[in-house]
Amino acid sequence: MSTLKAVRGTRDLLPPETALWNRIEATARRVFERYNFGEIRTPVFEDTALFARGVGEETDIVSKEMYTWEDRARAASEKTQSLTLRPENTAGVVRAYIEHKLGETGQLQKLYYIGPQFRRERPQKGRYRQFSQIGAEVIGPPSAGSESPLRDAEVLEMLATLLDELGITGWTLHLNSVGSSADRARYNEVLRAALADVAPKMCGDCQRRAVTNPLRVLDCKVPEDQPIIEALPKIDSVLGEDSKAHFAAVLAALDTAGVPYERNLRLVRGLDYYTRTTFEFTHGGLGAQNALLGGGRYDGLSEAIGGPKAPGIGFAMGEDRLVLTLQAIEEAKAVKGDAYIAPLGESMNPAALKLARELRREGLKVELGDGSFRLKKSFEAADKVARRIVILGEDELASGILTVKEFASGTQTKVPRAELVDVLSK
């Protein structure tokens, strides 16, 4: 008899790894609590129509990734029904919001969830058929302030805090606005027109999307298509005044609160329900599947599934990817030094020795390179023995500002000498 194994794309989580999962979940619960979120648990399967309407027929999730089956009637009082294992949790939360009339409280609902999701995707590192998401939603009637840009900024600030508390360094927040549903519709038409000429030169998926859902073309990862996509009209050219003002207010609040972000005009996200703010947090250590989490505003979702007007904003983090990132960071910490100092040219060697001496006396584990190495060779040597490389050249010496690259995240930053010990101790 052949031995039975866990199904492709699913896996067992065993100790000691499960301790890390529990730590991540405990940290998330603690942070959500501080922002006054409460937990919601929705069923793992739902009526297929919920996802068809809530996520969108044209999305990859609904068109090719769902686990759907006909559930046979067991009694005369039942009907055979099409059911689906949830591929995401926002649609379920909004269904529950409508079903339990949570809008009638007049209060903003702040709900979080932690649990398994299911998508029939090609399994690879960071991509599974059963995976876990940690997510949260802020939703309510407009009179409760659910459309306020401050809610968007608060959710993003909470995410930055959560990632920091988890010990995930080197993340990047990518931020965009896809505008109101009217702006989106207008942009879709602008894209459709622009794509008419160039789509035949693009990949098969893009040719199809150019007709059915032009916005999705911006998600294409095929290298040959990238120059064509870069030349397409950008979404900010069609945003209405309201959308622009809303987005500007989100950015202003983030700037004041000190949450760093990058504007990414191509970030439209894979789900149809997003309006206005959309975002993603990425981490360089994850390779091709580099999105730690994604989210955005969904002002029309409740109405799309038959509910009252209930604007909202939320996100879903890939817990499997948080685990992978933390494992890589912890592994690097356990075996590698804090820094490798790379002097640029032999004349910098004495200054490099002085810097290494000072850092080592602060308790840091430091490797010292050699100025006769080419920069590429220094990078290769450094990657093997240290978590970061610190570059020391004439400019750095004169300005007192050093270039530090962290290997796990791939991020490069300029660090004043006075802050170097702090940065390298993290």
Minimum CB–partner distance for residue 20 and ligand ATP (Å): 16
Q: Of these, 53, 119, 209, 246, which contacts ligand ATP (CB under 6 A)? A: 119
Using DSSP, state whether 112 is helix, strand or coil: strand
Which distant-in-sequence residues (6+ apart) come within 8 Å of 61 by Cβ?
Answer: 51, 55, 87, 88, 119, 270, 271
The answer to the question of residue 116 lying near ligand ATP (CB under 6 A) is no
Minimum CB–partner distance for residue 315 and ligand ATP (Å): 8
The answer to the question of residue 174 lying near ligand ATP (CB under 6 A) is no
Contact between residue 249 and residue 234 where contact means Cβ atoms under 8 Å apart: no
Q: Of these, 294, 312, 343, 371, which contacts ligand ATP (CB under 6 A)? A: 294
Give the CB-nearest residue to ligand ATP: 318
Number of residues that bind ligand ATP (CB under 6 A): 18
Contact between residue 264 and residue 247 where contact means Cβ atoms under 8 Å apart: no
Residue 296 burial by CB count (10 A; 0-12/13-18/19+): exposed, middle or buried?
A: buried
Interface of this chain with ligand ATP, residues 50 to 109, rule: CB under 6 A = 88
DSSP code of residue 218: G
Q: Of these, 95, 184, 216, 321, which contacts ligand ATP (CB under 6 A)? A: 321
Of residues 193, 425, 200, 155, the one with CA closest to residue 297? 155
Q: How many CB atoms lie within 10 A of CB 219?
A: 17
CA separation for the pair 381, 405 (Å, rounded): 14
The answer to the question of residue 133 lying near ligand ATP (CB under 6 A) is yes
CA separation for the pair 182, 133 (Å, rounded): 30
Minimum CB–partner distance for residue 88 and ligand ATP (Å): 5
Q: Is residue 67 part of an annotated ligand binding site?
A: no
Stretch that binds ligand ATP, among 106-114, 128-136, 142-150, 199-207 (CB under 6 A): 128-136
The answer to the question of residue 410 lying near ligand ATP (CB under 6 A) is no
DSSP code of residue 311: -
Q: Is residue 112 part of an annotated ligand binding site?
A: no
Stretch that binds ligand ATP, among 34-42, 314-322, 350-358, 383-391 (CB under 6 A): 314-322
The answer to the question of residue 407 lying near ligand ATP (CB under 6 A) is no
Using DSSP, state whether 84 is helix, strand or coil: strand
**Which residues does the annotation place in the binding site for L-histidine?**
88-90, 119, 133, 137, 269, 273-274
- Chain residues binding ligand ATP by CB under 6 A are 88, 119, 121, 126-128, 131, 133, 270, 289, 291-294, 316, 318, 320-321
